[in-house]
Amino acid sequence: MPDEVLSGKLIVIEGSDGSGRTTEVERLKETLEIEGHAIVDTGLRRSTLVSERIDLAKQGHTLASTTMALLYATDYADQLENKIIPSLAAGSTVLADRYIYTLMARAVVRGASRQWAQQLYGFALRPDLTIFLDARPEILLHRAISKYGSLDYWESGMDLSISPDRFESFLEYQARLRREFAWMMQAYAFVPVDANRHPDQVHQDVLKLVLPLYAPAKRRRGAGPPPSAQTGPSTASA
Amino acid sequence: MADPSAAPRGYPGRLIVFEGLDGSGKSTQARLLGKWLAAKGYRVFFTEWNSSDLVSATIRRGKKQGLLTPTTFSLLHATDFADRFERQILPPLRAGYLVVCDRYSFTAFARDEARGCSPEWVRNLYQFAPRPDRTYYFRVPVAVTFRRKRASRMKISYYEAGMDLGLADNIDDSYKLFQARLKREYDRMADANGFTIIDARGSVEDIQQQLREDLRPVLEGFPTGERLQHEG
């Protein structure tokens, strides 16, 4: 990645639908703004370049898994270069509602090798803090049903043909994702937060992790995810 | 997602690839070869890598808003290739067809590396693409392709000329410099990837003869369409 000084902080909240992730991102943003920090939010499928394409593909279920993984990577790369890096360089905090880890987990659960997924995101920026809102699939299931009245096709992993029964498919798919996250938690030093609890409790735990980032003594940041930050394409020739 | 690194060839079909610069004559030869194979009774599937609507529309939009970088440019093309691969290339290979590809992942390697992306990163992107049974590299001096391009009066596009790299202000000069870079990348890949080098300055007929001759061992024992459809 470029050598420019990125003085802002990149904070990532990961977690499945129903883990309370979006609620927590909103609360965290509110709290940090009150503390006087400039927040830029980001998430999946929000690039100017390809987000509409992804929406179209999801509706029609038309793209196979490798294609979809690459389309999402394009979406991330566009946001990274046109939004995340400029915002960090300007000293803002970038708050990501999901990040590359969700994309890697989805690809691996669909049969990609971990090595392929890791290298694919070799150009990515390593967050200052990644919090994983960890909730059991059964809890996610009840929250999804009480909120939407039904289970989403993609969140149930229906494209994997695990089971024609959406209920069973949801539980199995979420369990597989959770196993992948458990592995990544070690590899990328995520901090798990127990998301089976009430949102207020979750928020308190998140604040305990986030606020120390702004303590004057600890001003460090790393660039690029493991296993190597050297594998990305150079952006020098633009 | 297929993991091609696991099995060198997890399908009964054969993959024949044509690579080279624009104007090297590879498309003409690929089509002629496809015709010949079909006439011999083989099941042939012909596919060319022209930018799909996904890529061309997105690139148009990205260019207008100044959004594209070498990384997003590369990822967009990889997405496009994956879509073509998963939809058009892999199914006929699994059904036992001869698949003739006008451009394959090597086109992307050459282009992305000429734009400064890391070779290791780009190769990993395309790990899902299996190694072809034959890769014909149509080698030709850039001056020749430039003359052909000018003679055909086809417009040289912005990206074809690598104008985004800022090599030259003038589109003709930029085209020559960029195509020379692509040629260097192809030349560099030739050995490591087992390309069969075709001197593209020869006559159409001679080159076609050469290809048909070279393909014989690949076709050895390969079933024709009749045998695929009816048992016994």
Question: Within a domain: residue B24?
Answer: yes
Question: Which among B65, B86, B116 is the nearest to A67, CB-wise?
Answer: B86
Question: Within a domain: residue A70?
Answer: yes
Chain A interface includes B53 (CB < 8 A): no
Element (H, E) at A7: none
Looking at beta carbons, which residues of chain A come within 8 Å of B125?
70, 119-120
DSSP classification of residue B175: H
Distance from CA of B145 to the nearest CA of A (A): 25
The verdict on a CB contact (< 8 Å) between B83 and A111 is no
pLDDT of B228: 62
Specify the number of domains making up chain A.
1
Looking at beta carbons, which residues of chain A come within 8 Å of B54?
53
The position carrying tokens 């050469």 is B210
Question: Within a domain: residue A220?
Answer: no
pLDDT of A228: 40
Question: Within a domain: residue B219?
Answer: no
pLDDT band at B229 (very low <50, low <70, confident <90, very high): low
Question: Within a domain: residue A233?
Answer: no
pLDDT band at B230 (very low <50, low <70, confident <90, very high): low
Question: Within a domain: residue B5?
Answer: no
pLDDT in tens, B110-123: 999 999 999 999 99
Question: Within a domain: residue B229?
Answer: no
Distance from CA of B119 to the nearest CA of A (A): 8
CATH number of the domain encompassing residue B41: 3.40.50.300
* B175 and B146 Cβ atoms separated by less than 8 Å: yes
Could you report the average pLDDT of every consecutive run of 10 residues in chain A (238 residues)? Answer: 76 94 96 94 89 80 84 94 94 96 96 95 96 95 88 90 92 96 94 96 97 74 45 40
The verdict on a CB contact (< 8 Å) between A233 and B121 is yes
Question: Within a domain: residue B104?
Answer: yes
* A159 and A169 Cβ atoms separated by less than 8 Å: no
Chain A interface includes B91 (CB < 8 A): no
Give the A:B interface size as CB pairs under 8 Å.
Answer: 115
Residues whose CB falls within 8 Å of the CB of residue B11, separated by 6 or more in sequence, listed in order: B90, B93, B94, B96
Chain B interface includes A201 (CB < 8 A): no
* Least confident span in B1-5, B71-75, B91-95, B199-203: B1-5
Distance from CA of B165 to the nearest CA of A (A): 6
Chain B interface includes A237 (CB < 8 A): yes
Candidates B92, B126, B124, B88; CA nearest to B106 is B126
Q: Give SS3 for A43.
A: strand
Pick the residue of A1, A47, A52, A71 with the most B CBs within 10 A to test the interface with B by mutation.
A71
Question: Within a domain: residue A232?
Answer: no
pLDDT band at B224 (very low <50, low <70, confident <90, very high): confident
Distance from CA of A53 to the nearest CA of B (A): 8
Specify the number of domains making up chain B.
1
How far is the C-alpha of B86 from the C-alpha of B129, rounded, in Å?
Answer: 10
How far is the C-alpha of B183 from the C-alpha of B180, rounded, in Å?
Answer: 5
CB-based burial label for A64 (10 Å; 0-12, 13-18, 19+): middle
CB-based burial label for A192 (10 Å; 0-12, 13-18, 19+): middle
Distance from CA of B204 to the nearest CA of A (A): 36
Percent of chain B whose predicted confidence (pLDDT) is above 90: 66
In A66-105, the residues whose Cβ lies within 8 Å of chain B are 66-67, 69-71, 73-74, 77-78, 81-82
pLDDT in tens, B37-61: 999 999 999 999 877 777 778 877 8
Name the residue of chain A whose CA is nearest to B125's CA. Answer: A120
> pTM score, two decimals?
0.80
Asked whether the ipTM of the predicted complex exceeds the cut of 0.90, the reply is no
Question: Within a domain: residue A4?
Answer: no
pLDDT in tens, B148-183: 888 877 788 888 888 888 899 999 999 999 999 999
Element (H, E) at B86: none
* B128 and B1 Cβ atoms separated by less than 8 Å: yes
pLDDT of B2: 44
Distances (CA, A) of A151 to A17, A48, A136, A181, B71: 10, 28, 16, 21, 35
Chain B interface includes A34 (CB < 8 A): no
How far is the C-alpha of A237 from the C-alpha of B64, rounded, in Å?
Answer: 19
Q: Give SS3 for A81.
A: helix
How far is the C-alpha of A221 from the C-alpha of A85, rounded, in Å?
Answer: 13
* Least confident span in A152-166, B63-77, B92-106: B63-77
In A166-195, the residues whose Cβ lies within 8 Å of chain B are none
Distances (CA, A) of B57 to A62, B54, B115, B203, B206: 18, 6, 21, 37, 39
CATH number of the domain encompassing residue A209: 3.40.50.300
The verdict on a CB contact (< 8 Å) between B71 and A81 is yes
Residues present in chain A in total: 238
Question: Within a domain: residue A3?
Answer: no
Residue ranges making up the domain that contains B117: 14-197
Distance from CA of B72 to the nearest CA of A (A): 6
Element (H, E) at B48: strand B44-48
